Amino acid sequence: MKRKVYNELIEWKNSPNRKPLILSGARQVGKTWLMKELGKNEYKNYVYLNFDLDDRLENLFETDYNIDRILLAIQAITGVKPEKGKTLIILDEIQQVKRGLGVLKYFCEDAPEYHIIVAGSLLGIALHPGTSFPVGKVNMINVYPLDFGEFLDAMGENTMKELVEKHDWEMMKILKNKYIELLRQYYFIGGMPKVVADYVANKDLKQARKTQKEIITAYREDISKHAPKKDVVRINMVLDSIPSQLAKENKKFIFGAMKKGARATEFELAIQWLIDCGIVYKISRVNAPKMPLKFYEDMSAFKLFLLDVGLMGCMSEVPADQIIATDNALVEYKGAFTEEYVMQQLASQQDIFVYYWASERSESELDFLIQKESLIIPVEVKAEVNLKSRSLYQFVSKHSELSAIRFSMSDYIKQDWMENRPLYSAWKV
């Protein structure tokens, strides 16, 4: 399975300014597979240690961060002597142990010639209070579920992927029906690597849904195991509410939708926990379309999305025929699946910062407002061929310096103020 993030890993390996690397992302998005593939393909050998599975590693950093001692311990445990520049040292689930992240600072300062990569998340800070993050001493790469382009590649449709990359709108129009068929499959399967790999091999929808349920169960077990006991119920309440929140006309997250009288202060830590785990994306409202958008962020209004459209379908208990065999998932649920899908595609693209805009009384709203390099781009999402875009047109009329993108099931159309692009091209803005 090809992953676009693999090219970033090769760039890291070859960089003269290379530092220890943290691969961050939710469980089961393919971090372990990527690290092992890098070690197998780009190095003489690699050593792999999993801090969640090997009890011998629990106290590896308890005494000190002496690099010679740690390298000797790695050799004793794995049977492989790490060589400078030739051996990839892989430390998986490093957030499970106290002081784990701290060792990266000392590899950076005292042994930069060793290539070391770890997988984990910022959750490690919360799991072990007092642990400091090695700011400035590490490189970081985020790993996401497969986007639709990677899904096309996994399905053996590399030519269709290349057409989108080239923005060959005419050929894409000719192949529209096939793109829509594959997009429906992606809505159901999503981009979790294990689900995709099994589906490519067997085309078994029931098995795909079973694997999705197992992933969600694993996330809930992580919540029960690692989250503060007082927050476990709240975290699950937030997670469970996301599908119904996205099915509302106004997709702004409403605390009262979880329980009557709920307040932000009750659920702030629960939401942050899910963000740190990589299970949800949070995008805030901005008050003005000006650079940089971060300056105009309204922290009190936001939307929450799941990391994967397939997992959302699983949590929503939507039958396969409603997604694969009909247009229901594309046009029903007030665009919940379509907006979730587009958010997943935007989140995985480099150098794109995602927000949304709504008027003070929410009479008018833009699904997304993104910052890409020096551009601010209003984005509207349509689940159908219907091209009416009143809110988008009014917004761009007031901000004539901006050019918008509308993703819909219609073919490519270029207008003075807006481009309509097919939904299946959203992974390549």
Specify the pLDDT at position 388: 75
Write out 300-348 in H/E/C secondary structure: EEEEEEECCHHHHHHHCCCCHHHHHCCCHHHHCHHHHHHHHHHHHHHHC
Beta bridge partners of 414: 419
- For the chain, give the mean pLDDT: 91
- Confidence tier at 412 by pLDDT (50, 70, 90): very high
Specify the pLDDT at position 125: 45
Q: Per-residue pLDDT averaged across 169-185, rounded?
A: 96
- Confidence tier at 167 by pLDDT (50, 70, 90): very high
| CA–CA dist 295, 339 (Å, integer) | 25
Q: For the chain, where do the domains classified as CATH 3.40.50.300 start and end?
A: 5-142
Specify the pLDDT at position 56: 85
Q: Which of 276, 294, 274, 272 is nearest to 285 (CA)?
A: 294
Q: Per-residue pLDDT averaged across 89-108, rounded?
A: 88
For residue 122, pLDDT beyond 60: no
Q: Per-residue pLDDT averaged across 95-107, rounded?
A: 85
Beta bridge partners of 8: none
DSSP 223-237: HHHHS-HHHHHHHHH
Specify the pLDDT at position 143: 96
| CA–CA dist 197, 194 (Å, integer) | 5
Q: Per-residue pLDDT averaged across 238-263, rounded?
A: 90
| CA–CA dist 189, 317 (Å, integer) | 13
For residue 131, pLDDT beyond 70: no
For residue 43, pLDDT beyond 60: yes
Q: Per-residue pLDDT averaged across 150-162, rounded?
A: 98
Specify the pLDDT at position 321: 86
- Confidence tier at 207 by pLDDT (50, 70, 90): very high
Q: Where does 5-142 sit in CATH, by number? A: 3.40.50.300
Q: Per-residue pLDDT averaged across 227-252, rounded?
A: 92
Specify the pLDDT at position 334: 56
**Owner of token pair 């008018």:** 364
pLDDT digits (tens, 9 = 90+) for 355-391: 999 987 777 899 999 999 999 999 999 988 777 778 8
| CA–CA dist 158, 345 (Å, integer) | 18
Specify the pLDDT at position 35: 97
Please report, rounded to a whole number, the percentage of residues in the chain having pLDDT higher than 90. Answer: 74
Which is more confident, 119 or 35? 35
Specify the pLDDT at position 129: 56
- Confidence tier at 138 by pLDDT (50, 70, 90): very high
Q: Which of 65-74, 94-103, 137-146 has the lowest mean pLDDT?
A: 94-103
CA 283 to chain centre: 13
Tokens at 249, concatenated? 């006309």
Specify the pLDDT at position 130: 56
pLDDT digits (tens, 9 = 90+) for 284-336: 999 999 999 999 999 999 999 999 999 999 999 988 888 887 766 566 565 78
Specify the pLDDT at position 102: 86
For the chain, what is the radius of gyration of the CA atoms?
22
Specify the pLDDT at position 328: 61
- Confidence tier at 267 by pLDDT (50, 70, 90): very high
pTM of the entire predicted model = 0.93
Specify the pLDDT at position 315: 95
For 303-332, b/e burial (b = at least 16 CB within 10 A) is: bbbbbbbbbbbbbbebebebbeeeeebbbe
